[in-house]
Amino acid sequence: SQTIHQWPATLVQPVGSPLSLECTVEGTSNPNLYWYRQAAGRGLQLLFYSVGIGQISSEVPQNLSASRPQDRQFILSSKKLLLSDSGFYLCAWSSSGYNEQFFGPGTRLTVL
C-alpha cells in the first residue's frame, strides 16, 4: 500500500530564517506530487506541482521554491521566511492529474 510522509509535524521559525520541508511517498512509482498551503479558515492554495523528477511547476510567485531530487521525494524550501508564510503545509500525491490526491499529515509552520 502507498503511504506519504511529511516532516516535521510542527515548526516555529523566526522571520528571515530558512525553511526546508520534506515529503516522501512509498509504494508507488512516478507519482504526481503537490505542495499546498492552507491559511487558517481558508481553502488550499496550490504552491507547486511536479509530474516527474526535476519537473516543477510554480503556481504562486513568492519566496518559496520546490525541488524533486528523487522520484518519490518532494522538498519545499525558502531562503528567508516571511510572516505571511505561516500556515498549514500539505504534500499530496496522485497517480495522474485525474485521479484522487492522497494527502500527508501536514506541517504546521508558524513564523514569528
Q: Interface with other proteins by CB under 8 A: which residues?
A: 32, 36, 42-46, 49, 51, 57, 59, 88, 90, 92, 96-98, 100-106, 108
Comparing CB distances to other proteins, the nearer of 65 and 102 is: 102
Asked if the bond preceding 8 is cis, omega within 30° of 0, the reply is yes
| Residue linked to cell 516543477 | 56
Report, in Å, the least distance between residue 55 CB and other proteins.
10
Residue that has been written with the C-alpha cell 504534500 in this structure: 91
Q: How far is the CB of 108 from other proteins (least distance, A)?
A: 7
88 contacts 35 by C-beta, under 8 angstroms:
no
